[in-house]
Structure 1
Amino acid sequence: MSYSRRKFISFLGKASLGTALVPPFLISCGNTTTPTETKNLSEEELERLKTFVLEALPASDKDDLLLAKGLDYHTIVKWGDRISDADTFGFNNDFTCFIPLDENNPKDGLLWVNHEYINSLYIAGFNYRDYENPPEHVTLEQVDKEMYNVGGSIIRIKEEHGKWKVVENDPHNRRITAKTPIKLNWDTPIKGKTTAIGTLANCSGGITPWNTFLTCEENYDDFYGETKYENNVATTVSSDYYGWERFYNHPPEHYGWVVEINPKDGAAQKHIALGRFAHECCTLYELEDKRIVAYTGDDKNNEHLYKFISSQPSSLKEGTLYVADTINGKWLALDWENQPILKKKFKDQTEVLIRAREAAKLLGATPLNRPEDIEIDPVTGHIFVSLTNNKWKDDFHGSILKIEETNGAFDALTFKASTYKAGGEATGFSCPDNLAFDHSGNLWMTSDMSGSWMNNPEKPYMPFKNNSLFVIPRYGKDAGKVIRVASAPRDAELTGPWFSPDGKTLFLSVQHPGEQTTDVNHPTSQWPFDGDNIPKPAVVAITGDLIEKMNKLNQIEG
């Protein structure tokens, strides 16, 4: 089945910590959760919307967060800010999502923010780029600082007089770090344990129908390395980046999962049934019988797109994990019991899930060009997947993949795959990453060009300059065009777009400004210009007339 525009805009769902009334097609990664009631517009207002002109922002290499006409921003929280007497905000914030505390007040709630990784130059006082492997002189104290600055933050924020601010010392404010004990939601211990220590590499995420946060562990092997298999014999390979295994004996198998966080008390669990790989995000759909469908991608060259279908209501444990054969349009079951080729290779279902990448390849899954964020179109029900790039295959600019499930059924085992938009100079964007639909069904998109390749005359990204935020309008004369509406500071990328329940604020992360800095006294960026002369990752609130008009464009036809 599909979802009409009218059904989308007329849904009066309200989400808060006390309710679970989120429309199923909005339980997704980076999407708004609570479209508000649309009011009848006057003839004059409708006419203004029909003639609304969206002015594109030109590409820029300026060290600032630049916004298109009709937008403004203010900083909500940045790295190092105190969120309570005990905790400070972590580093390199990525995914954001917001749940109101009270369904009747969209301006007061809990913001979850991922902290994906650290830059040791700022956290631990050395530049990891100076070393081929993690430097031997790094101390336990330095590693502990790094461990504290990844994971995630829960912060209560309020909007007062048009500005969002952190409610300091609110009882909900807390950090989840690389040292937080987290239960493994599985009946079989993994490496002899039922609890993992910490979460890390937290990239994107989502929310559940029962209003908890999902955070996804992506490049987990940067921290404790990885387990490699040759002739089915396991060997642990050390990390090339942080080398935490020199101080902490935590097995790599405890990382690379989707993690669920309860916003009320910070209780967490890792969902083994969703498989282990570099999860970019986890996008949920709740079926009419309350069973859950979860889409997630493995953000690495030549890896795969996955879908979990639960067999029990409201479960992320009981069910089957599938991987996509996009060439033949089939979902292939990673089911040890019923796949002879998996039985031959692995000893049980637990091992299949831990080694999901190997299992997917044995089944003939289609290698993709870094599947990152996933969103469900709230109007059509189609699934959009960012394929960021694959430089080794000469795909420098990436594309957006569209999945149409057979008969619009999200638990279908067949589908049609096609390219929705390809990146490049002709379309005006490169390296799509995070996606979000607003209340009108307009698609918002961030880009992820690597800092070492941006603004480099020897690389193919010069025309695009800094990473940016784009919108693809669904209605009006600009429908289908890719329009730049924000440009990131130098070396940064914009991540984690999430709309407030009333559609008047876009929460957005500014991640790793000044990342190419090699000398702290001469940073490549000074954003957010708070007087410290140090670039700081931060979460901003983008507001303005443009946001509100984009969220009303659906009413032109309605």
Structure 2
Amino acid sequence: MDDNKQLSRRKFLGYLGTSTAYLAVSSMGLGSFGKRANASEASRSLFDFSTIKVSDSFNPTRDTAVASDDLVLSSGFKYEVIAAYGDTINTKGDTFGDNNSYTVFFPQDGSHVEGLLWVGHESTNELFLEDGNQQRHLTSAQQRSLLYNQGASILKVFRNEKGLWKMDTKSEYARRITGLDAVELTGPVRGTKAVHHATRVQGTLANRGGGTTLWGTVLTCENQFESTCRSTGLDPIHYGWVVEADPYDANATLRKHTALGRFNHGNVTMGLSTDGKVIVYMGEDAEDACVYKFISSNKFDPARGKANSELLNDGKLYAANKATGQWVELTIEAVIQSIKNPRYTIPSILNQTRESLVEIFKEQADVFVYAREAAIIVGATLSDRPATVTINPQDHTLYIAYTNNGRRGNLHGQIIRFFEKNNNLGATEFSYEIFAVGGPQSGFSSPGSLAFDTKGNIWVATNIASSHLNSGAWAEFKNNGLYVIPASGSTKETRQFASAPFDAEFDGVSFTPDEQTLFVTVKHPGETTEERVKLTSTWPHRFGDNIPRSALVAISGSAF
């Protein structure tokens, strides 16, 4: 077959019979099929639409949608499992966490084939804890395991002479960050009554999305933290923050930046205003939620290096009012003015009385701790799960993946594009447009995370709930997928690049600098399993394994 010819969805499925066995072999690191590419082929961008056609325009029908308990790729591509839940990552015996999410690759000395990989861990399936959870309450050992398997893994990875990606488990950089570590609180909430006077708290958990800073560190987002807090007895006020970590320095202090607000953080992305201030955009991963923005008080100074982290301690926090096109500042004065105004009707979604809100909001620290409530009170727009925000590196517009909201009848979600006034990320006014609407007309449902490649193409990982997959309004989409919207922005040209295993979804899309390798995470395969003796997925199909495992994979052309 000529790989330069477009591959139709029907042909894509037709190759499934042979590719399933092929992918299982490659995922175990036993080798790769195909001959090595010549120098000119190896140097070109792997994901350049002008040279490699991923698939035809996506127009799904029931007989061509993919449902398989495997990671299925367009022809000409292969995947390798670099690390899966429970794998040893270093000489200390640390193991890879569960339900991996956000990834970012830090090249070593500019290398395309060697560097550090940050991998966030969003949650732990209690059924698949080391000794299983067959009890109503977790034992102390299970609670520790629950916390240990969240947080993040920092891996040293390289591509060997056979073209296979491997972990360097002997690297001094390979380590875990978990829900058991000590983490400092920074900024306006540190030591206040709002956080029960804490200056240091236990661990970071529920780490879904993330972003990188302008000074080379990682910001990891605490998302759906509530259930873990209930299972372990941790104070929920200490979670739901953005945490900064330095992948290159195991001795660096982990910091929760309270000036960025506390809520179910979906992800975070950073940029600069025209006058040099640090801008941080954040999405809230909830059915009725807001979009937030932080503007630092002081300016970024490249010469200060990692000391620029202090910029995240002081600034203004805003939430978007889409009706007025305003970023509304979250201040204690504005909140109190609203809740004490007898003409103001308390929104029912807050499930609070006027009297209880008066007791909650006493000082500015309370606004950061209860940022969601404050945003709603001052008039920010509730939206349908704005889980992921990302800045288009080519024009600095903001793209937001609104996953879905069944309560409002928005089953398939959409992607919305924000335009800051005068193209200044520090502006307090914006306009927006609907960039893409999920559903049969666009070929994908429930956009969960977004990433741009250097060509300006948008990679969309979908997040249909595992309980909805292959049924009802979502039946035609089959399993969750990874899609590409070309830089032209026409959803009619959207192509499906990959299909996830049963119950799973993709996340953590990132590239090596030359885009010859795509890293992606596969999380919660087999999530709907109710009993370990009756698994709904066994991916990644390791010999002798008795549970499904979330995993980090590397995807590349089969020539490598």
Of 67, 88, 92 in structure 2, the residue corresponding to residue 61 of structure 1 is 67
Write the deviation string for residues 173-207 of structure 1: whole angstroms up to 9, x where unpaired. Answer: 11111110000012531312101100111101011
Size of the alignment, in residue pairs?
474
Q: 1:75 to 1:341 in 2, by over 3 A?
A: same
- Counterpart position of 2:287: 301
Q: In structure 1, list runs of 5 or more residues that go unmatched.
A: 1-39, 129-134, 225-238, 549-558
What CA distance in whole angstroms lies between the structure 2 residues aligned with 1:368 and 1:460? Answer: 21
How has the CA–CA distance of structure 1 residues 370 and 137 changed in structure 2, closer, same or farther, with 3 Å as cutoff? closer
Deviations 1:46-68 (A, max 9, x none): xx975864424852111110001
Q: Deviations over 1:200-232 (max 9, x none)?
A: 1110101101110111000111122xxxxxxxx
1:265 counterpart residue number: 249
Matched, 1:516 2:516: no
| Mapped pair 1:168 → 2:169 | yes
**Counterparts of 2:522 and 2:51 in 1: how far apart (Å)?**
32
1:354 aligns with 2:369: yes
Rounded Cα–Cα distance in structure 1 between residues aligned with 2:242 and 2:278:
14
1:341 aligns with 2:337: yes
Q: 1:513 touches 1:525 (CA, 8 Å); kept in 2? A: yes
C-alpha deviation, 1:138, in angstroms: 2.4
CA distance in 1, matches of 2:69, 2:551: 15
DSSP-derived class of the 1:407 partner: helix
SS at 1:77's partner residue?
Answer: strand
Q: CA deviation at 1:527?
A: 1.1
**Which of the residues 193, 196, 199 maps onto 2:198?**
193
Q: Distance in 1 between matches of 2:130 and 2:373?
A: 35
Corresponding residue for residue 451 of structure 1: 466
- Within 5 Å, which residues of 2 pair with 1:215-294? 215-224=220-229, 239=230, 243-245=231-233, 250-266=234-250, 267=252, 268-287=254-273, 289-294=275-280
Contact 1:474 1:480 in 2 (8 A): no
1:466 is matched with which residue?
A: 479
**Shift of the alpha carbon at 1:535?**
1.0
State the partner residue of 1:427.
442
The two structures, once aligned, show a CA RMSD in angstroms of 2.5
Equivalent residue number for residue 298 of structure 2: 312
Tell me the secondary structure at the aligned position of residue 368 of structure 1.
coil
Distance in 2 of aligned mates of 1:342 and 1:283: 30
Pick the aligned partner of 2:325 from 318, 325, 329.
329
Separation in 2 of the partners of 1:479 and 1:389?
18
Alignment identity in percent? 39
Q: Which residue of 2 aligns with 1:385?
A: 400
What is the rounded CA distance, in whole Å, between the counterparts of 1:148 and 1:173 in structure 2?
A: 15
**Which residue pairs with 1:158 in the alignment?**
158
C-alpha distance in 2 between matches for 1:71 and 1:54? 9
Alignment partner of 1:416 is 2:431: yes
Structure 2 counterpart SS, 1:461: helix
> In the alignment, what sits opposite 2:126?
120
Deviates more, 1:300-309 or 1:55-64: 55-64
Matched, 1:178 2:179: yes
1:102 aligns with 2:109: yes
Residue 113 of structure 1 and its aligned partner are, at CA, apart by 0.5
Tell me the secondary structure at the aligned position of residue 350 of structure 1: helix
- SS of residue paired to 1:281: strand
Aligned residue number for residue 304 of structure 2: none
- Structure 1 distance, partners of 2:491, 2:52, is 12
Q: 1:285-327, CA deviations, whole angstroms, 9 ceiling, x for partnerless residues?
A: 0345542100001111111000001111341121100000011
TM-superposition CA deviations, 1:355-407 (whole Å, max 9, x none): 11111111111000001111111222211101000001111100011111111
CA–CA distance in structure 1, aligned partners of residues 506 and 49 of structure 2: 28
2:148 alignment counterpart: 148
Residue identity matched to 2:205:
L
**Whole-angstrom CA distance in 2 between matches of 1:77 and 1:542:** 13
Q: Distance in 2 between matches of 1:328 and 1:89?
A: 45
Aligned partner of 1:207 in structure 2 is 212
Would the aligned equivalents of 2:466 and 2:504 in 1 still touch at CA under 8 Å? yes
Partner SS state of residue 312, structure 1: strand
Within-5 A mapping of 1:467-546: 467-475=480-488, 481-531=493-543, 532-544=545-557
Q: Which amino acid aligns with 1:411?
A: G
The TM-score, its normalising length taken from structure 1, stands at: 0.81
Question: 1:443 & 1:423 partners in 2: Cα distance?
Answer: 14
1:223 maps to a residue whose letter is: T
Provide Cα deviations, 1:220-262, integer angstroms capped at 9, x if missing partner: 11122xxxxxxxxxxxxxx3xxx211xxxx3211100000111
- Report SS of the residue matched to 2:535: coil
User: What is the rounded CA distance, in whole Å, between the counterparts of 2:84 and 2:333 in structure 1?
Assistant: 48
When residues 545 and 412 of structure 1 are mapped into structure 2, their CA distance, relative to the original with a 3 A threshold, is farther
Instruction: Report the more deviating stretch, 284-293 or 377-386.
Output: 284-293
Task: Give 1:100's aligned amino acid.
Answer: P
Question: What's the secondary structure of 1:102's corresponding residue?
Answer: coil
Tell me the distance in 1 between the aligned counterparts of 2:259 and 2:316: 8
Q: Distance in 2 between matches of 1:374 and 1:358?
A: 20
